[in-house]
Amino acid sequence: MEGEPAASESDASARPAPRPTTSTTRRVPPRSSSSPLILAALAALALAPVAHADALQDVRAGKILRYGSDMEGGGPYAFPDPASPRSVTGFEVEMMERLAGGLGASAEFSQGQWDKLLSVLDARRFDAVVNGYEWTEVRSRDYLATRPYYIYQLQLMGPTGGSIGSWEDLKRPRADGRRWRVGVLVGSAADVFAEEEAGSTIEVVRFDGATDAMLATQNGQYDLTLQDVPAALFYKDRFPGLEAIGPPVSRGYYVIYTRKADAALRDALDEGIGRLAASGELRRIYEKYGIWNDLQRELTEFAGPIAPASGQFSARGWELLARYRGRLFDAARVTLGLSFGSMPLAMAIGLAVALGRMYGPGWLRGLLAAYVELIRGTPLMLQLYVLFFVLRLPPWVAGIAGLALNYSAYEAEIYRAGLQAVPRGQMEAALALGMSRWTALRRIVIPQAVRLVIPPVSNDFIALFKDTSVCSVITLVELTKQYSILANSTGGVVEFAAATAAIYLAMSLPLSWFSRWSERRLGAEGVKGGLA
C-alpha cells in the first residue's frame, strides 16, 4: 500500500500461502512444447540472482497493472468480447480492472498460453497471473498467492441421455470390460482429481484446451469430460450434445500469482480482493456471468492466509529423475512410434508425388503441385485438428497420418530435386537400350536420386522427432509433453529439461551416424553438389 515499505523477501517466505480444502490441486500446468535445450538455458538464467525494482512501485508509477491470461477457450475467465471483437471481457477481466483501479492504475491484458503463463511471469513480461489458476502446493513454493477470489468445483459432463448418473458410477466396472475415457485439461485440478480417482475403471485423456475435451466428448470420441464449473456453465450452449452429470465434485481455490520478490504487490491485491468481496462487487460480477453460487459466500469470511506448502515435492536432481524416469521412457516410446510410423509413409508418398509431378500427365502434375502447396502452406497443428476432430480418426492414426502427410510434401520436393539432378541422358540411354520408362526409373534414375537425397531426408527425419510434440494437441503424450507435465508438476524444470534433451539426442544421433555411413556406402559424397 502507498506510504508503506514493501515487504521483504524473507517476509514473503514467512507468510503462509493458502491451503486448499482437498488434495485435488497439486499439479501445475504442463510445460512448453519448445526445445528442452532452450528451456534449460532459460531456466538457468532465471535462477541467476538479478536485482529488480519493486513491482508495486512500478505499477503505481506507470499506472498500468499487466496481468497474464489466455483467451483460447477462455470463457468465462477471459475471452474476445462479442460486442467489440478486438477487446477482451470475462469475469476475471472485470475483477482485474477493479483491482487495478484500487492501485491507481489501469489493467492491461497480456495474452499467453495457459500452461506457460507462470514461466512468462518469471521473465517479468507481466506483473501477475490470473486465469483460473488453482492454488497448489508446488506453485505456492515458487510463487506468492493471494487470498482466493473464487471457490471452484468440478463438473462431470457427458452425452445427453447417457447411462451415467454421477462420478461414483464411473468407479463400477463396465459390462463390456472397457474403461471410461474421461477428457480433462492437462495440468488442471480436473486432471489431478481424475488421476487420483481413476483406479482400474477410468482412463484419463489429457487435452491442451478445455473446449477440445468437450468437442471430442460431444463427437463420441471419448466418453465423458471433467471441467471446472465456470467453464462447464459458460460452454453448455456451445455443446448442446453434452449435459451436466450429477452434482459437482471436489473443490479448491482460484488465486492470483505474483513472483516471490513481489510481496508488496501480492499484499495490495490481497486487500483489493477482500474489499471487492466485502462490498458485494465480486458477487455482482459473478452473477453477471452466471457463476455465482453459495460457496462464494465464504470469500467474505475468509480470514487467510492459506497454509504453506508441505514440501511434498522437495526432491531434486537425480532423485527426482529416478522417481519419474519411467514416465519419460514411456513418452520416448510414443515419440519413436510416431516417428518411425510416419516417416516411411512420408518418404513413400513423397517419392510417388515427385515421380507424378515429373513424369505424369498434365492434369496429374497440376493436382500434385496443388497438394504440395496446400500441405506446405497450412500448419501441421491445423492438419492434425482436421484429422482428429473433423474426420474423428483415433489419436494414433491421426498422429501418424498427419505427420506423414505433412512431411510428404517436403519429401516430394527433395525427391524432385534429386530426380532433376540426375542427367537427362541417363533416361534417354536406358530407353535406347529397350527399357520401359518404369524400368529405367526403377533401375537407373531413382537409385541415383536416392544417393543424392540421403542428407536432406536424414535431416527431415531428425526434425520429425521434435515435430511429434505437436501431436499433444490430439491427446498423445509424447516426450516434450511429458517433460512439460513433469517439470511443472514437480518444479524440476532444469532436471527434466536436461533429461529430455539427452533422450532426444540419444534418439537422433544414430540417425546422423546412419546417414553418414549410407553416404559413404553408396558413394554419395562425391555427388552432393548435384543438389546445390
Q: What's the confidence (pLDDT) of residue 503?
A: 94
**Same CATH topology for 152-251 and 319-531?**
no
CB-facing half-sphere around the CA of 32: CA atoms within 13 A: 18
Residue 170: Cβ within 10 Å count: 24
User: According to DSSP H, which parts of 55-148 are helical?
Assistant: 55-62, 91-102, 117-122, 137-142
Q: What's the confidence (pLDDT) of residue 48?
A: 44
Residue appearing with cell numbers 526409373: 441
Q: What's the confidence (pLDDT) of residue 119?
A: 85
Q: What's the confidence (pLDDT) of residue 508?
A: 87
Q: What's the confidence (pLDDT) of residue 315?
A: 58
CATH class of the region 319-531: mainly alpha
What do you get for the CA distance between the two ends of the chain, in Å? 65
Residue 454: Cβ within 10 Å count: 21
Q: Which contacts of 355-362 are long-range, i.e. CB under 8 A and separated by 24 or more positions?
A: 355/415, 355/419, 355/441, 357/412, 357/416, 358/416, 358/419, 358/420, 359/437, 359/441
The residue count for the chain: 532
Closest to 224 in 3D by CA, of 248, 243, 252 = 243
Domain spanning 152-251 has what CATH number?
A: 3.40.190.10
pTM reported for the whole predicted model? 0.79
Provide the 3-class DSSP secondary structure of residue 159.
strand
Radius of gyration, CA atoms only, the chain = 27
Q: What is the pLDDT along the chain (532 residues), one digit of tens a residue?
A: 334 444 433 343 333 344 344 333 333 333 344 444 454 444 444 444 444 558 999 999 999 999 999 998 889 999 999 888 889 999 999 999 999 999 999 999 999 888 889 889 988 999 999 999 999 888 888 899 999 999 999 999 999 998 899 999 999 888 888 999 999 998 889 998 998 888 889 999 999 889 999 999 999 999 999 999 999 999 999 999 999 999 999 999 999 999 999 999 999 999 999 999 999 999 999 999 999 999 999 998 887 656 544 444 455 677 888 888 899 999 999 999 999 999 999 999 999 999 999 988 999 999 999 999 999 999 999 999 999 999 999 999 999 999 999 999 999 999 999 998 888 888 889 888 889 888 988 888 888 888 888 888 988 999 999 899 999 999 999 999 888 888 777 777 788 889 999 999 999 888 888 878 877 776 644 444 444 3
Domain residue ranges of the chain, discontinuous segments joined by +: 9-149+255-314, 152-251, 319-531
Closest to 113 in 3D by CA, of 183, 46, 208 = 208
Q: What's the confidence (pLDDT) of residue 425?
A: 86
**Nearest 5°: CA angle at 118, between 116 and 119?**
65
The fold adopted by the segment(s) 9-149+255-314 is D-Maltodextrin-Binding Protein; domain 2 (3.40.190)
Q: Grid coordinates representing 237? A: 450452449
